[in-house]
A = this chain, B = another copy of it.
Amino acid sequence: MTSSSITLADVASQAGVSKMTVSKVINKKPGISETTRQRVMQAVDELGYTVHASARALAGGRTNTLGVVVSSLDSQYFSELMRGADMTARDAGLELLISTTRASHEHRNIGRLAHGLVDGLLMVFPASLVPYERSLRTLNLPVVVIAPGMQESTEQHHFPSVDADHYSGARQAMQHLLSLGHRRIAFIGGPPHLTPSRERLRGYREGLLTASIAPDAELQVTSDFSQRSGFQAARELLALAEPPTAIFAVNDVSAFGAIEAIKDAGLRVPDDISVIGFDNIPQASQVFPALTTIEQPLLEMGAAGTRQLLNLIQGVGAVTDRLIVPTELIVRASTGPVWPVDRRM
Q: Interface residues, chain A, CB within 8 Å of chain B? A: 1-6, 48, 50-58, 61-63, 72-74, 78-79, 82, 86, 89-90, 95-100, 102-104, 109, 111-117, 119, 134-135, 138-142, 226-228, 231, 257, 260-261, 263-264, 282-283, 286-288, 313-315
The distance from the CB of A323 to the nearest CB of chain B, in whole angstroms, is: 21
Chain B residues in 8 Å Cβ range of A263: 263, 288
Identify the closest chain B residue to A256 (Cβ).
Answer: B287
Identify the closest chain B residue to A80 (Cβ).
Answer: B74
In the complex, the count of this chain's copies comes to: 2
User: Pick the contact of A2 from B95, B97, B119 — CB < 8 Å?
Assistant: B119
- Structural contact, B116 and A55, CB atoms closer than 8 A: yes
Identify the closest chain B residue to A106 (Cβ).
Answer: B90
The distance from the CB of A121 to the nearest CB of chain B, in whole angstroms, is: 11
- Structural contact, A50 and B109, CB atoms closer than 8 A: yes
User: Pick the contact of A102 from B86, B113, B139, B283 — CB < 8 Å?
Assistant: B86
* Docked pose: A335 CA to B313 CA in angstroms: 55
- Structural contact, B61 and A58, CB atoms closer than 8 A: no
- Structural contact, B112 and A103, CB atoms closer than 8 A: no
User: Pick the contact of A1 from B99, B228, B315 — CB < 8 Å?
Assistant: B315
- Structural contact, A86 and B100, CB atoms closer than 8 A: yes
User: Pick the contact of A50 from B90, B115, B288 — CB < 8 Å?
Assistant: B115
Chain B residues in 8 Å Cβ range of A113: 95
Identify the closest chain B residue to A98 (Cβ).
Answer: B98
- A50-B139, A54-B58, A54-B116 known; A99 vs B102 contact (CB < 8 Å): no
The residue in A2, A4, A313 that gathers the most chain B C-beta atoms within 10 A of its C-beta is: A2
- Structural contact, B97 and A286, CB atoms closer than 8 A: no
Chain B residues in 8 Å Cβ range of A55: 54, 58, 116
* Docked pose: A66 CA to B140 CA in angstroms: 25
Chain B residues in 8 Å Cβ range of A286: 226-228, 231, 257
Chain B residues in 8 Å Cβ range of A315: 1
- Structural contact, B97 and A50, CB atoms closer than 8 A: no
- Structural contact, A99 and B99, CB atoms closer than 8 A: no
Identify the closest chain B residue to A140 (Cβ).
Answer: B3
User: Pick the contact of A99 from B62, B96, B260, B287 — CB < 8 Å?
Assistant: B96
* Docked pose: A117 CA to B73 CA in angstroms: 22
Chain B residues in 8 Å Cβ range of A89: 103
- Structural contact, A97 and B100, CB atoms closer than 8 A: no
* Docked pose: A33 CA to B2 CA in angstroms: 32
Chain B residues in 8 Å Cβ range of A96: 99-100, 103
* Docked pose: A54 CA to B263 CA in angstroms: 56
Identify the closest chain B residue to A50 (Cβ).
Answer: B111
The distance from the CB of A139 to the nearest CB of chain B, in whole angstroms, is: 7
* Docked pose: A314 CA to B78 CA in angstroms: 34
- Structural contact, B4 and A62, CB atoms closer than 8 A: no
The distance from the CB of A293 to the nearest CB of chain B, in whole angstroms, is: 16
Interchain residue pairs with CB less than 8 A apart (11): A3-B140, A48-B134, A50-B138, A54-B54, A54-B58, A54-B116, A73-B79, A82-B100, A95-B113, A96-B103, A97-B97
The residue in A79, A86, A140, A286 that gathers the most chain B C-beta atoms within 10 A of its C-beta is: A286
* Docked pose: A48 CA to B117 CA in angstroms: 17
- A97-B99, A116-B55 known; A3 vs B79 contact (CB < 8 Å): no
